[in-house]
Structure formats: structure tokens, C-alpha cells
């Protein structure tokens, strides 16, 4: 049976909002909150960050919270993922997540893995219109063997930095037809991902005064 591992990418030099990975939400650094929420049902999480000195504070923060961290190339992000993928079996499933999306949690990951398997996918992105989910509930699912295979191709700088572009170009059943109506009730046109200061203020308010920010389900956050 294939195993599942979450790989969360984070960095300090985010150009639109510097050091956003360390900004607090409920007094928890954003990257830590993302990692803890994604892994709150027991799926292992590895955070992959650059090995630049500018990311040392992020590294020590993650280690302080006992989060598994791997460091690698700043712009060749896919090479960071490959470091993790090489420790996995070929058909194991990788969940790609980013540390600017604090809403996805362990139950969300488990539900998407179930859909991924039922649809017999090789690649799946929850930003696809098929799901009708708000912007910010973004994860991608693919197999370890496909990531390693794609990484050996001649990739552009853009492909290496954005990881999933090469997978999409490879056309490994990336298209999803129709939609799942069950998520329509949670749709909002408000952006729930953090790229700017305004985004941060909006998302921080959703979590504010939350007694269990790591455990609260993503649906309840949206209802807030």
C-alpha cells in the first residue's frame, strides 16, 4: 500500500511580504502553523527550505517546534523535493503544500488522498475548478516516481522554482472533468492565501481568538 508524505515548502525572502513564514497567527509562526495543521492527523510532514543564511531563523524556528526540516537550493525548489522523494518508494504519494496557505489541515489532506486514489490519478491540484474550493485551499498530489522522473528532464528556471509546472507539462492525466458539488457550500471569492500584508491581516482575523488553531477544521475557519 502506498504511503503518503507531506512536503511543505517555505522561505524567508518572500518578495511581496518579507519573512511572512515567521509572521504570527495565534502566536504561532505561519510556517509552523501550516506544518502542524497539515500533520494534525499523523501524516508525516517535512518542510523544505533554502540553505541561505537568510533562512537560518526559519530553520531554527522549525526545529524549536520539532518539525522535520531539509535545506536545499534557494531557487531550484524541485531539487529540495527530490531529496525527500528519494527516501520514498516509487508509488508513494507526495502532498505538495506551501507555507502561505494555513487553512489546509490533516483531514483535508486525507480526503484529497482518498479522491486521488478513487479517481486513479497521477497528479491532482485542489485549485482545479473541479473542486470549487476557495483560493488558499491549495495542495497538489503526485507520485514520488513521477517527481523524480520529471526532475531529470531539461527544466527551465521557472519549472524548477514552481515544482508542479513540469508535472503539468508532462500531461499525466492533469485534467479533471465535471465538479464535486459537496464543496460548493464552502466557496468564497475572498483570498485565503497570504501573499501581501492585506492578505495576512485578513487570514489572521479568521484565526484570531481561536482556542485550537492547529486542530480547528478548515470548514469552521471559513465559516468564521
| Confidence (pLDDT) at 172 | 80
Beta strands in the chain (DSSP E): 4-9, 24-25, 28-29, 45-50, 68-72, 93-98, 123-125, 140-143
Task: Look up the pTM and report it.
Answer: 0.94
Calculate the CA 136 to chain-centre distance: 10
Distance between CA 104 and CA 135 in Å, rounded? 11
Which grid coordinates are listed for 172? 499525466
Q: Is the dihedral of CA 121, 89, 71, 68 positive or negative?
A: positive
219 CB burial (10 A radius; 0-12, 13-18, 19+): middle
- Residues forming beta bridges with residue 93, ordered by sequence position: 4, 143
* Tally of structural domains, the chain: 1
Q: Which residue range is the domain that position 111 belongs to?
A: 4-223
Residue 31 φ/ψ, nearest 5 degrees? -60, -35
CA dihedral 26, 161, 89, 104 (to 10 degrees): 30
- Cβ atoms within 10 Å, residue 189: 6
| Confidence (pLDDT) at 148 | 96
Series of mean pLDDT values for 10-residue runs along the chain (224 residues): 93 91 97 98 98 97 97 96 97 97 97 94 91 94 96 93 88 77 89 96 94 96 89
CATH at residue 178: 3.90.550.10
| Confidence (pLDDT) at 140 | 96
* Residue entry with cell 479568521: 206
- Cβ atoms within 10 Å, residue 91: 12
| Confidence (pLDDT) at 110 | 97
Distance between CA 174 and CA 127 in Å, rounded? 12
DSSP 27-79: TEEHHHHHHHHHTTTS--EEEEEE-SGGGHHHHHHHHHTT-EEEEE-SS-HHH
| Confidence (pLDDT) at 1 | 67
Q: How far apart are the first and last CA of the chain?
A: 38
Amino acid at each position: 500500500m502506498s504511503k503518503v508524505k507531506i512536503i511543505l515548502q517555505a522561505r524567508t525572502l518572500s518578495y511581496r511580504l518579507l519573512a511572512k513564514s515567521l509572521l504570527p497567527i495565534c502566536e504561532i509562526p505561519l510556517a509552523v502553523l501550516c506544518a502542524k495543521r497539515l500533520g494534525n492527523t499523523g501524516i508525516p510532514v517535512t518542510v523544505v527550505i533554502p540553505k541561505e543564511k537568510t533562512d537560518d531563523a526559519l530553520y531554527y524556528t522549525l526545529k524549536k517546534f520539532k518539525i522535520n526540516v531539509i535545506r536545499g537550493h534557494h531557487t531550484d525548489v524541485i531539487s529540495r523535493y527530490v531529496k525527500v522523494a528519494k527516501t520514498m518508494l516509487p508509488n508513494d504519494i507526495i502532498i505538495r503544500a506551501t507555507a502561505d496557505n494555513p487553512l489546509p489541515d490533516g483531514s483535508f489532506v486525507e480526503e484529497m488522498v482518498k479522491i486521488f486514489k478513487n479517481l486513479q490519478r497521477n497528479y491532482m491540484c485542489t485549485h482545479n475548478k473541479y473542486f470549487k474550493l476557495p483560493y488558499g485551499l491549495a495542495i497538489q498530489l503526485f507520485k514520488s516516481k513521477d517527481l523524480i522522473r520529471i526532475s531529470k528532464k531539461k527544466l527551465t528556471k521557472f519549472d524548477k522554482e514552481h515544482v508542479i509546472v513540469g508535472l503539468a507539462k508532462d500531461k499525466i492525466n492533469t485534467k479533471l472533468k465535471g465538479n464535486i458539488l459537496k464543496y460548493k457550500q464552502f466557496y468564497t471569492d475572498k483570498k485565503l492565501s497570504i501573499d501581501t500584508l492585506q492578505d495576512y491581516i485578513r487570514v489572521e482575523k479568521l484565526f484570531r481568538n481561536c482556542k485550537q488553531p492547529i486542530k480547528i477544521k478548515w470548514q469552521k475557519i471559513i465559516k468564521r
